[in-house]
Amino acid sequence: MKLMTMADLYLDQLQDMHSCERQLIRAIPRMARAASHPQLQAAFNDHLVETKGQLERLNTILENLDKGPGRKVCEATVGLIKEGTEIVDANANANVRDAGLICAAQKIEHYEIASYGCLRTFASLLGRGTDVRLLDRSLGEEHGADKALTSLAMSVVNADARA
């Protein structure tokens, strides 16, 4: 893909996030099954629902651009999921695994926060108000997921892992 205009970059990054969300829809259930704390399992399952909504919003934006998701693979997500899979597959104490799962999930959340923030800015620069609103909703969900994971880590998971 040629990146000659802001519109080209916007489309490229939309397709990148589409790939990211598709990958996460497959990965999050595995992380939820690996978690031992019921609250962490619930957090993963709740975010899976949000992730499916985020993918739908990306589909809407792409359809409004008369574009598809393309074949782009978000390599950052491939690597982040690989890190999470290493924790899932590790011979680990369950509480330590949960702390590691939160760490892996927060790395993903921070990537998504950066990506959705850039996309929202690009949409604004391109005068795509509807896209801005859709992307802002996804960005808010990612911030919320990150805060929920931090709260869970600080209130119970990390202390249990240390014990």
Question: Is residue 80 included in any domain, yes or no?
Answer: yes
pTM of full prediction above 0.85: yes
**Structural domain for 79, as ranges:** 8-68+75-162
Residue 3 counted as domain residue: no
Question: What total number of domains does the chain contain?
Answer: 1
| pLDDT tens, the chain, 163 aa long | 689 999 999 999 999 999 999 999 999 999 999 999 999 999 999 999 999 999 999 999 999 999 999 999 999 999 999 999 999 999 999 999 999 999 999 999 999 999 999 999 999 999 999 999 999 999 999 999 999 999 999 999 999 999 8
How is 98-148 classified by DSSP, letter by letter? Answer: HHHHHHHHHHHHHHHHHHHHHHHHHHHHTT-HHHHHHHHHHHHHHHHHHHH
Please give the structure tokens belonging to residue 79: 């690597």
Residue 107: inside a domain, yes or no? yes
Contact of 74 with 66, CB cutoff 8 Å: no
